[in-house]
Amino acid sequence: MVIEDYILTAYLITLSILFFYGMHGFFLVYLYNKFKDVKYEPKGRFEELPKVCIQLPTFNEALVVDRLIDAVCKIDYPKDKMEIQVLDDSTDETQDVLKKIVEEKKKLGFNINYYHRDNRQGFKAGALKEGLEKTDAEFIAIFDADFIPNSDFLNRTIHYFTDPKIGMVQTRWEHLNAEYSILTRAQALALDGHFVMEQQVRNKAGFFINFNGTAGIWRKACIYDAGNWQPDTLTEDLDLSYRAQLKGWKFVFLNDFTSPSELPIEINALKNQQFRWTKGAIETSKKILPLVWKSSIPLKLKLYSTFHLTMNIVFPLIVLAGLLNVPLVYVKNTGNYDEYFAFMSIFTLAFISSFLMYMYSQKDVYPDWKRRIYLFPVFMAGSMGFALNNTRAVIEGLFNKKSEFVRTPKFRIETSTDNPHPKRKKYAVTKISPMIMLELLFAIWALFGIGLAAYYSEIAAIPFLSMYFLGYGVIAVMSIKHALESKK
| Burial class of residue 181 (count of CB atoms within 10 Å of its CB; 0-12, 13-18, 19+) | middle
If 0-12 CB within 10 Å is exposed, 13-18 middle and 19+ buried, where does residue 37 land? exposed
Q: Are strands 52-58 and 82-88 parallel, antiparallel or unpaired?
A: parallel
Number of residues that this document lists for the chain: 488
Q: What is the DSSP string of 207-251?
A: ------SSSEEEEHHHHHHTT----SSS-HHHHHHHHHHHTT-EE
Burial (CB < 10 A; 0-12, 13-18, 19+), residue 248, is middle
Asked if 212 and 281 touch (Cβ cutoff 8 Å), the reply is no
Active-site residue, 88 included: no
Q: Catalytic: which of 88, 144, 192, 237?
A: 237
Q: What are phi and psi of 261, to 5 degrees?
A: -150, 165
Q: Is 96 a catalytic residue?
A: no
Catalytic-labelled residue, pool 89, 146, 192, 239: 89
Dihedral angle of Cα 71, 75, 78, 81, to the nearest 10 degrees: -80
Rg of the chain's alpha carbons, rounded to an integer?
Answer: 23
User: Rounded distance, CA 260 to CA 68, Å?
Assistant: 11
Q: Residue 111 forms beta bridges with which residues?
A: 83
Residues with a known catalytic role: 89, 237
